[in-house]
Amino acid sequence: MPGYNIHVLGLDLSFSTEAPPERLNKAVDFLQSRYDDLENRGRHLSKERLLTYLALSLADDYLLDKDKLQQLEARLQQIVSRIDISEK
């Protein structure tokens, strides 16, 4: 498993993961971009508060995407059921 040493959000991190470097770099860039956006709007908030807002924002995005995925899967199941019925 490849090991990484990265600098993100002012922290140096070392870890191993199966994720390819391109995916890791995209994740780091995404986090840094979201953090910078919050920091620019944050009116001198502490780093802890900014990181908490970032975590809440990412959790909200995740939950919305999870709901959308469930809706799409339900819709696909309906379509597959119609195809199965029409083939009989």
pTM of the predicted protein model: 0.77
DSSP codes joined into one string, 29-63: HHHHHHHHHHHHHSSS--HHHHHHHHHHHHHHHHH
| R_g of the chain, CA atoms, integer Å | 20
**Of 44 and 63, the one with more pLDDT:** 63
Residue 88's pLDDT band, with cuts at 50, 70 and 90, is low
**pLDDT confidence of residue 5:** 94
Other CB atoms within 10 Å distance of the CB of residue 65: 10
Do the Cβ atoms of 56 and 38 come closer than 8 Å? no
Domain boundaries, the chain: 3-87
**pLDDT confidence of residue 43:** 75
Sign of CA dihedral 55, 60, 62, 63: positive
Query: With 90 as the cut, is the pLDDT of residue 84 above it?
Result: no
pLDDT, averaged across the chain: 93
